[in-house]
């Protein structure tokens, strides 16, 4: 066996680099991906995620857990808007990205403020706390209304375009999902607002000073310091402003959502 034959045999016995076969494979590959139906798969996945996270959040009592599951659902709204493949849907998805950023950071700021002032983390512990922390709970209410999609917040504008995008795309089941999820999110966010702002404060007892003596009451809860309250008021104000005067933001969002 000469050296050339030996070299050929040696090369054939081991994997060859992709430089020879990969270009031909790429050139002959199908460019169509319609058979995968990725748009429909994405719509189904996001719709199920939205419904499942909303249903689960409805059962929770921990504020941070509610916000966490709500965030998963809201991110799915954004993907769903793009997957609708309609101009209004893309606009709604991008607008929801911006609006959710301000609304959700307001909610997280508010939950942090509540914990700082009262060390409370559960919805069931918030009875009447809005009378003691009006600025914090007012900002929380604005953020919650935006996530639900109620006027006059930016969340209402983005939800409107998502609904319109579903109509334009003829996705009637998606329209139903959007409606049901809005009702579900209203269920768990309005529960927080009702508990904090509409219920009468309940005295919280920490124990008894002695057998048969009067109960020791928890120290009075007051509003958080300005260093905590001011940032959440700013983000809440932006959430309202973008809902009342959305024109400038809409122009930017439509440009970003436009397909070249």
DSSP per-residue string spanning 128-171: TGGGT-HHHHHHHHHHHHHHHT-TTSHHHHHHHHHHHHHHHHT-
> Has residue 213 been placed in a domain?
no
Written as six digits, the tokens of 223 are 């509003």
Look at residue 20 in the predicted model and tell me its pLDDT. Answer: 58
pLDDT < 50 regions, the chain: 8-9, 33-35, 209-210, 212-218
> Has residue 73 been placed in a domain?
yes
Number of residues that make up the chain: 260
Range of the domain at 180: 38-203+221-245
Element (H, E) at 196: none
Look at residue 48 in the predicted model and tell me its pLDDT. Answer: 96
- Number of CB atoms found within 10 A of residue 202's CB: 10
Decide if 46 contacts 80 (C-beta within 8 A). yes
Residues 6+ positions from 137 with CB-CB distance below 8 Å: 110, 129, 130, 193, 196, 197
Element (H, E) at 215: strand 215-217
Look at residue 235 in the predicted model and tell me its pLDDT. Answer: 97
Look at residue 174 in the predicted model and tell me its pLDDT. Answer: 94
Look at residue 222 in the predicted model and tell me its pLDDT. Answer: 85
Written as six digits, the tokens of 105 are 């950071």
**Nearest Cα to 144, choosing from 90, 91, 87, 182?**
182
> Has residue 79 been placed in a domain?
yes
> Has residue 257 been placed in a domain?
no
> Has residue 31 been placed in a domain?
no
> Has residue 32 been placed in a domain?
no
- Number of CB atoms found within 10 A of residue 17's CB: 7
> Has residue 111 been placed in a domain?
yes
Cα gap 88→82, rounded to integer Å: 9
SS3 at position 118: helix
Look at residue 28 in the predicted model and tell me its pLDDT. Answer: 59
Q: What predicted TM-score, i.e. pTM, was given to this entire model? A: 0.78
SS3 at position 3: helix
Look at residue 26 in the predicted model and tell me its pLDDT. Answer: 53
> Has residue 233 been placed in a domain?
yes
Sort residue 200 into left (φ over 0), alpha (ψ -120 to 50) or beta: beta
Written as six digits, the tokens of 235 are 């983000």
When divided into structural domains, the chain yields a total of: 1
Decide if 212 contacts 121 (C-beta within 8 A). no
Look at residue 215 in the predicted model and tell me its pLDDT. Answer: 43
Residues 6+ positions from 256 with CB-CB distance below 8 Å: 94
Look at residue 204 in the predicted model and tell me its pLDDT. Answer: 54
């Amino acid at each position: 066996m000469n050296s050339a034959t030996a070299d050929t045999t040696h090369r054939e016995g081991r994997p060859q680099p992709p430089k020879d076969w990969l270009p031909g494979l790429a050139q002959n590959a199908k460019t169509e991906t319609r058979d995968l139906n990725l748009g429909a798969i994405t719509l189904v996945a996001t719709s199920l995620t939205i419904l499942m996270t909303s249903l689960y959040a409805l059962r929770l009592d921990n504020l941070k857990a509610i916000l966490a599951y709500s965030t998963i659902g809201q991110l799915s709204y954004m993907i769903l808007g793009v997957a609708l493949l309609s101009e209004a849907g893309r606009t709604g998805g991008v607008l929801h990205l911006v609006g959710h950023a301000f609304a959700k950071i307001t909610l997280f700021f508010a939950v942090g403020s509540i914990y700082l002032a009262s060390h409370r983390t559960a919805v069931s512990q918030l009875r009447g706390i809005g009378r003691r922390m009006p600025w914090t709970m007012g900002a929380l209410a604005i953020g919650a209304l935006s996530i639900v999609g109620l006027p006059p917040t930016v969340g209402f504008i983005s939800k409107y375009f998502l609904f319109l995008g579903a109509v334009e795309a003829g996705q009637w089941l998606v329209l139903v999902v959007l409606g049901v999820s809005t009702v579900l999110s209203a269920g768990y966010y309005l529960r927080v607002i009702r508990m904090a702002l509409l219920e009468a404060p309940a005295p919280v007892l920490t124990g008894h000073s002695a057998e048969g003596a009067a109960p020791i009451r928890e120290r009075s809860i007051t509003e958080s310091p300005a260093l905590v309250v001011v940032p959440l008021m700013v983000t809440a104000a932006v959430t309202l402003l973008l809902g009342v005067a959305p024109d400038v933001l809409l122009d930017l969002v439509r440009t970003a959502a436009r397909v070249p």
